[in-house]
Amino acid sequence: MTNILIVDDNKKIRKLIEIYLAREGFKVFQADDGEVALDILDEVKIDLIIADIMMPNMDGYELVEELRGAKYNLPILMVTAKNTYPDKKMGFELGADDYMTKPIDMDELILRVKALLRRSKISIDKHISIGDIIIDYEALEVRTTTDTILLPMKEFYLLYKLLSYPNKIFTRQQLMDDIWGFDSEADERTVDVHIKRIREKFKDIDEFQIVTVRGLGYKGVHK
């Protein structure tokens, strides 16, 4: 089960977020400030943190800075009433992965949580082996027995995403959200262009294939 830690000094907000997360099958832990959150992290494997900024004892900024300094790589979503550009800039520079402002749209929060967890899984796994082919996340390259193919970042992430979940269909919008981010101004045709480039580069590879599912999107297939 995926463990999510909510860090907020407002008990009602913590409870509301917990209700929505629990409906999606997540196990939820709660802390009312950063210091309590660190204590929980010492005892439980947490997969994602949702953190407010304005809290007593240790605020959200301090918590993020402490975690990144200690090499915690789990995704962190900051949810706060502080909505100015300098506030967001500080959060991202300290190491937050995403940022939402209150009042929270709970459906959007769930979407962002799921997207962050998917990206985290890709990052943790680091590589995929399909027959004699190695798809190396850290190097952004695909290695065969005879060649090494270095891909542009978006093409690699798209290929890695599809092959990380063989036979799972992803809509173009899901791929846009996961690879380009929710706030990207690119449209869904961008996915089609990148898929075409990937297919051209691997047209002689038999071990995998990117399949178009008409009316839905794409899926990766291991052969």
Both tokens of 83, joined, read: 């909505």
Cα(199)–Cα(83) distance, rounded to whole angstroms? 42
Tens place of pLDDT per residue across the chain (223 aa): 789 999 999 999 999 999 999 999 999 999 999 999 999 999 999 999 999 999 999 999 999 999 999 888 899 999 988 888 888 889 999 999 999 999 999 999 999 999 898 777 766 667 888 988 999 988 889 999 889 999 999 999 999 999 988 899 999 988 988 888 766 677 778 999 999 999 999 998 999 999 999 989 999 999 8
**Ranges for all domains in the chain classified under CATH 1.10.10.10:** 153-222
Cα(47)–Cα(210) distance, rounded to whole angstroms? 29
Element (H, E) at 128: strand 127-130
Supply the pTM of this predicted model: 0.61
Tell me what pLDDT residue 39 has: 95
Cα(168)–Cα(70) distance, rounded to whole angstroms? 35
- The CATH architecture assigned to 153-222 reads Orthogonal Bundle (1.10)
Other CB atoms within a 10 A radius of the CB of residue 124 amount to: 11
Strand order in the sheet with 27-31: 27-31, 3-7, 48-51, 76-80, 98-101
In the CATH scheme, what is the homologous superfamily, with its name and number, of domain 3-121? Response regulator (3.40.50.2300)
Cα(75)–Cα(113) distance, rounded to whole angstroms? 9
The burial of 149, by beta-carbon neighbours within 10 Å (0-12 exposed, 13-18 middle, 19 or more buried), is given as middle
What is the chain's alpha carbon radius of gyration, rounded to the nearest angstrom? 19
**Ranges for all domains in the chain classified under CATH 3.40.50.2300:** 3-121
Tell me what pLDDT residue 182 has: 66
